[in-house]
Protein backbone atom coordinates (compact mmCIF):
# COMPACT_ATOMS: atom_id res chain seq x y z
CA UNK A 1 0.00 0.00 0.00
CA UNK A 2 2.83 2.38 0.88
CA UNK A 3 4.53 1.94 -2.49
CA UNK A 4 1.34 2.66 -4.41
CA UNK A 5 0.69 5.73 -2.26
CA UNK A 6 4.04 7.16 -3.35
CA UNK A 7 3.18 6.55 -7.00
CA UNK A 8 -0.25 8.13 -6.46
CA UNK A 9 1.30 11.25 -4.93
CA UNK A 10 3.96 11.49 -7.63
CA UNK A 11 1.51 11.10 -10.49
CA UNK A 12 -0.81 13.63 -8.89
CA UNK A 13 1.95 16.24 -8.71
CA UNK A 14 3.01 15.44 -12.29
CA UNK A 15 -0.47 16.07 -13.67
CA UNK A 16 -0.99 19.20 -11.58
CA UNK A 17 2.08 20.62 -13.34
CA UNK A 18 0.87 19.49 -16.78
CA UNK A 19 -2.54 21.05 -16.17
CA UNK A 20 -0.86 24.38 -15.37
CA UNK A 21 1.30 24.22 -18.53
CA UNK A 22 -1.24 22.95 -21.12
CA UNK A 23 -4.77 23.49 -19.75
CA UNK A 24 -7.84 22.83 -21.86
CA UNK A 25 -9.63 25.51 -19.83
CA UNK A 26 -7.02 28.08 -18.73
CA UNK A 27 -9.57 29.87 -16.55
CA UNK A 28 -10.32 26.77 -14.46
CA UNK A 29 -8.66 27.31 -11.06
CA UNK A 30 -6.36 24.78 -9.43
CA UNK A 31 -8.69 24.61 -6.43
CA UNK A 32 -11.96 24.50 -8.34
CA UNK A 33 -15.36 23.97 -6.71
CA UNK A 34 -15.60 20.65 -4.89
CA UNK A 35 -11.84 20.01 -4.71
CA UNK A 36 -11.91 19.33 -0.97
CA UNK A 37 -14.56 16.62 -1.33
CA UNK A 38 -12.57 15.04 -4.16
CA UNK A 39 -9.44 15.08 -2.01
CA UNK A 40 -11.39 13.13 0.61
CA UNK A 41 -12.37 10.54 -2.02
CA UNK A 42 -8.72 10.15 -3.07
CA UNK A 43 -7.66 9.38 0.50
CA UNK A 44 -10.64 7.20 1.34
CA UNK A 45 -10.93 5.22 -1.88
CA UNK A 46 -7.19 4.64 -2.34
CA UNK A 47 -6.55 3.61 1.25
CA UNK A 48 -9.53 2.81 3.47
CA UNK A 49 -11.78 1.20 0.86
CA UNK A 50 -8.84 -0.94 -0.29
CA UNK A 51 -8.17 -2.00 3.29
CA UNK A 52 -11.83 -3.06 3.60
CA UNK A 53 -11.49 -5.17 0.46
CA UNK A 54 -8.32 -6.71 1.88
CA UNK A 55 -10.14 -7.61 5.09
CA UNK A 56 -13.01 -9.22 3.21
CA UNK A 57 -10.57 -11.13 1.01
CA UNK A 58 -8.52 -12.49 3.89
CA UNK A 59 -11.31 -13.33 6.33
CA UNK A 60 -14.33 -14.07 4.15
CA UNK A 61 -13.32 -15.47 0.77
CA UNK A 62 -9.77 -16.75 1.28
CA UNK A 63 -11.08 -20.32 1.17
CA UNK A 64 -12.20 -19.77 -2.42
CA UNK A 65 -8.55 -19.71 -3.48
CA UNK A 66 -8.42 -23.44 -2.91
CA UNK A 67 -11.17 -23.81 -5.52
CA UNK A 68 -10.33 -21.16 -8.10
CA UNK A 69 -6.65 -20.26 -7.75
CA UNK A 70 -4.64 -21.72 -10.62
CA UNK A 71 -1.78 -19.29 -11.22
CA UNK A 72 -1.72 -19.93 -14.96
CA UNK A 73 0.44 -16.88 -15.64
CA UNK A 74 2.75 -17.30 -12.64
CA UNK A 75 5.63 -18.92 -14.65
CA UNK A 76 5.47 -16.29 -17.40
CA UNK A 77 8.01 -13.44 -17.71
CA UNK A 78 6.99 -10.08 -16.25
CA UNK A 79 6.10 -8.39 -19.60
CA UNK A 80 3.74 -11.25 -20.51
CA UNK A 81 2.14 -11.14 -17.05
CA UNK A 82 1.69 -7.39 -17.38
CA UNK A 83 0.04 -7.67 -20.80
CA UNK A 84 -2.37 -10.47 -19.90
CA UNK A 85 -3.39 -8.87 -16.59
CA UNK A 86 -3.86 -5.45 -18.18
CA UNK A 87 -6.02 -6.81 -21.00
CA UNK A 88 -8.05 -9.19 -18.84
CA UNK A 89 -8.65 -6.84 -15.92
CA UNK A 90 -9.41 -3.86 -18.13
CA UNK A 91 -11.99 -5.77 -20.15
CA UNK A 92 -13.69 -6.94 -16.96
CA UNK A 93 -13.75 -3.37 -15.66
CA UNK A 94 -15.12 -2.11 -18.98
CA UNK A 95 -17.99 -4.62 -18.64
CA UNK A 96 -18.67 -3.55 -15.05
CA UNK A 97 -18.56 0.11 -16.05
CA UNK A 98 -21.00 -0.60 -18.87
CA UNK A 99 -23.40 -2.22 -16.42
CA UNK A 100 -23.10 0.74 -14.05
CA UNK A 101 -24.55 2.93 -16.77
CA UNK A 102 -27.34 0.58 -17.77
CA UNK A 103 -28.54 -0.98 -14.50
CA UNK A 104 -30.49 1.44 -12.31
CA UNK A 105 -29.24 0.05 -8.99
CA UNK A 106 -25.60 0.40 -10.05
CA UNK A 107 -26.14 3.81 -11.67
CA UNK A 108 -27.30 5.20 -8.33
CA UNK A 109 -23.76 4.65 -7.03
CA UNK A 110 -21.92 5.59 -10.22
CA UNK A 111 -23.93 8.80 -10.63
CA UNK A 112 -21.67 10.38 -7.99
CA UNK A 113 -18.74 10.21 -10.40
CA UNK A 114 -20.75 11.84 -13.15
CA UNK A 115 -21.58 14.78 -10.94
CA UNK A 116 -18.25 16.22 -12.14
CA UNK A 117 -18.84 19.54 -13.91
CA UNK A 118 -15.22 20.75 -14.07
CA UNK A 119 -12.83 18.03 -15.19
CA UNK A 120 -9.38 17.58 -13.71
CA UNK A 121 -7.24 14.78 -12.29
CA UNK A 122 -9.00 14.89 -8.90
CA UNK A 123 -12.17 13.74 -10.62
CA UNK A 124 -10.52 10.40 -11.34
CA UNK A 125 -11.08 9.50 -7.68
CA UNK A 126 -14.58 10.89 -7.19
CA UNK A 127 -16.52 7.64 -7.00
CA UNK A 128 -18.67 5.88 -4.42
CA UNK A 129 -16.72 3.41 -2.23
CA UNK A 130 -19.21 0.72 -3.25
CA UNK A 131 -17.63 0.79 -6.72
CA UNK A 132 -14.44 -0.63 -5.20
CA UNK A 133 -16.50 -3.61 -4.04
CA UNK A 134 -18.19 -4.09 -7.43
CA UNK A 135 -14.92 -4.00 -9.37
CA UNK A 136 -13.03 -6.13 -6.85
CA UNK A 137 -15.72 -8.80 -6.85
CA UNK A 138 -15.70 -8.96 -10.65
CA UNK A 139 -11.90 -9.11 -10.77
CA UNK A 140 -11.50 -11.81 -8.12
CA UNK A 141 -11.87 -14.83 -10.41
CA UNK A 142 -9.56 -13.69 -13.26
CA UNK A 143 -6.96 -12.52 -10.73
CA UNK A 144 -7.07 -15.86 -8.91
CA UNK A 145 -6.78 -17.82 -12.14
CA UNK A 146 -3.88 -15.76 -13.51
CA UNK A 147 -1.87 -15.53 -10.29
CA UNK A 148 0.56 -12.84 -11.48
CA UNK A 149 3.25 -11.52 -9.17
CA UNK A 150 2.65 -8.66 -6.77
CA UNK A 151 5.16 -6.51 -8.64
CA UNK A 152 3.24 -7.03 -11.88
CA UNK A 153 -0.07 -6.22 -10.21
CA UNK A 154 1.46 -3.01 -8.83
CA UNK A 155 2.79 -2.07 -12.27
CA UNK A 156 -0.66 -2.54 -13.83
CA UNK A 157 -2.23 -0.52 -11.01
CA UNK A 158 0.21 2.34 -11.54
CA UNK A 159 -0.39 2.28 -15.31
CA UNK A 160 -4.17 2.32 -14.76
CA UNK A 161 -3.77 5.32 -12.44
CA UNK A 162 -1.55 7.11 -14.98
CA UNK A 163 -4.13 6.72 -17.77
CA UNK A 164 -7.04 7.48 -15.43
CA UNK A 165 -5.42 10.75 -14.34
CA UNK A 166 -4.59 11.58 -17.95
CA UNK A 167 -8.16 10.94 -19.15
CA UNK A 168 -9.64 13.16 -16.43
CA UNK A 169 -6.99 15.89 -16.57
CA UNK A 170 -7.70 19.45 -17.63
CA UNK A 171 -5.44 19.06 -20.68
CA UNK A 172 -5.96 20.22 -24.25
CA UNK A 173 -3.95 17.34 -25.72
CA UNK A 174 -5.19 15.13 -28.53
CA UNK A 175 -3.23 11.93 -29.07
CA UNK A 176 -3.91 11.02 -32.69
CA UNK A 177 -4.05 7.31 -33.49
CA UNK A 178 -3.32 6.41 -29.85
CA UNK A 179 -6.97 7.21 -29.09
CA UNK A 180 -7.73 3.79 -30.57
CA UNK A 181 -5.60 2.18 -27.84
CA UNK A 182 -5.76 4.19 -24.61
CA UNK A 183 -8.24 6.48 -22.90
CA UNK A 184 -7.62 10.21 -23.21
CA UNK A 185 -9.17 13.61 -22.38
CA UNK A 186 -10.69 13.96 -25.85
CA UNK A 187 -12.59 10.69 -25.34
CA UNK A 188 -13.38 10.90 -21.67
CA UNK A 189 -14.87 14.38 -21.80
CA UNK A 190 -17.59 12.91 -24.01
CA UNK A 191 -18.15 10.16 -21.46
CA UNK A 192 -18.95 12.90 -18.93
CA UNK A 193 -21.00 15.13 -21.23
CA UNK A 194 -24.31 16.40 -19.91
CA UNK A 195 -27.27 14.51 -21.46
CA UNK A 196 -28.48 17.77 -23.04
CA UNK A 197 -25.24 18.05 -25.04
CA UNK A 198 -24.94 14.71 -26.77
CA UNK A 199 -25.24 10.92 -26.48
CA UNK A 200 -24.70 9.20 -23.14
CA UNK A 201 -23.20 5.81 -22.26
CA UNK A 202 -20.30 6.31 -24.66
CA UNK A 203 -16.52 6.01 -24.21
CA UNK A 204 -16.76 3.58 -21.31
CA UNK A 205 -13.01 2.90 -21.34
CA UNK A 206 -11.11 3.08 -18.08
CA UNK A 207 -7.61 2.47 -19.41
CA UNK A 208 -7.78 0.82 -22.84
CA UNK A 209 -10.09 2.41 -25.41
CA UNK A 210 -9.97 -0.63 -27.70
CA UNK A 211 -13.14 -2.06 -26.16
CA UNK A 212 -15.18 1.02 -27.14
CA UNK A 213 -13.99 0.84 -30.73
CA UNK A 214 -14.61 -2.92 -30.87
CA UNK A 215 -18.12 -2.78 -29.38
CA UNK A 216 -19.35 0.43 -30.97
CA UNK A 217 -19.49 2.68 -27.92
CA UNK A 218 -16.76 5.12 -29.07
CA UNK A 219 -17.81 8.73 -29.67
CA UNK A 220 -15.04 11.25 -30.45
CA UNK A 221 -16.29 14.31 -32.37
CA UNK A 222 -13.79 17.07 -33.15
CA UNK A 223 -15.26 19.51 -30.62
CA UNK A 224 -15.53 19.23 -26.85
CA UNK A 225 -18.91 18.94 -25.08
CA UNK A 226 -20.44 22.26 -24.11
CA UNK A 227 -21.34 21.04 -20.63
CA UNK A 228 -20.48 18.21 -18.23
CA UNK A 229 -22.55 16.55 -15.50
CA UNK A 230 -25.86 14.75 -15.06
CA UNK A 231 -29.48 15.73 -15.43
CA UNK A 232 -31.33 16.72 -12.27
CA UNK A 233 -33.35 13.50 -12.58
CA UNK A 234 -32.38 10.66 -14.85
CA UNK A 235 -33.15 6.97 -14.81
CA UNK A 236 -30.15 5.50 -16.53
**Which range of residues forms the domain containing residue 53?**
2-215
Report which DSSP code applies to 45. Answer: I
pLDDT at residue 67, rounded to an integer: 60
Quote the mean pLDDT of the chain.
86
In a domain, 233, yes or no: no
Q: Residue 232 domain-assigned?
A: no
Specify the number of domains making up the chain: 1
| pLDDT tier, 32 (very low <50, low <70, confident <90, very high otherwise) | confident
Nearby residues of 178 by Cβ (< 8 Å), 6 or more positions away: 184
Give 176-194 pLDDT, tens digit per residue: 999 999 999 999 999 999 9
Domain assignment of residue 226, yes or no: no
Predicted TM-score (pTM) above 0.85: yes
Tell me what pLDDT residue 93 has.
94
In this predicted structure, what is the pLDDT of residue 150? 86
pLDDT above 80 for 211: yes
Instruction: Kindly state the average pLDDT of the residues 37-49.
Output: 65
Amino acid sequence: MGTYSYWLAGLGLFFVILERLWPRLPTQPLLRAGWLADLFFIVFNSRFASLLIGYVTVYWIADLDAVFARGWAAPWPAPSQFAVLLLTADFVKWCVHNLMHRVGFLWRFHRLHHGIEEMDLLGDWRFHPAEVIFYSAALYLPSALLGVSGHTALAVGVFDTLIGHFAHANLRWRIGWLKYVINSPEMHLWHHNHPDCGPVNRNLALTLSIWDWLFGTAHVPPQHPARLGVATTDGR
